[in-house]
Structure 1
Amino acid sequence: QMPDNPVGTLIENSAAIYFDFNEAVITNTTQHLVGEHFVEVINGVVDHDRPPLRVYPNPSAGEVQFELPAEALGAA
């Protein structure tokens, strides 16, 4: 998407994928309507009133561990 595209702009996209030395395989054309289905990302919001929670490993293959410090559980 280009900066300043007005809401309602239709963007179409496809790609050419090459396998070995064969001819390109053209993907289906996708469409995106600017202004729909967007996600707002907010960084830097920290709630200092809660104890830190560690979740690992990240990325995960399916299982994760959750860890709270002992003082968060009332065992200071």
Structure 2
Amino acid sequence: MAKLKIGSLPDDKPVKVSLELPASVHRDLVAYAKVLAGESGQPISDPGKLVAAMLARFMATDRGFAKLRRASQSRTGEG
């Protein structure tokens, strides 16, 4: 079985964001939720909850973003 890029969803305080998705993206999100539920054994009642984990994974693996973020933080003195 293929390894999915996201695992279990973290239990974190959410921030509400509203967005519209193309129907094809929503269908894929629902399908991904079904596969993930099958692998993890945890039912996913709202496939929309996967979006945050997917975005976090995308940003964490985007080398260009990480490089620019580090450069920005070093200029501003943030940690």
TM-score by length of 2: 0.24
Instruction: Kindly indicate whether structure 1 or structure 2 has the higher relative contact order, using CA contacts under 8 Å at least 6 residues apart.
Output: 2
Structure (1/2) with the larger helix percentage? 2
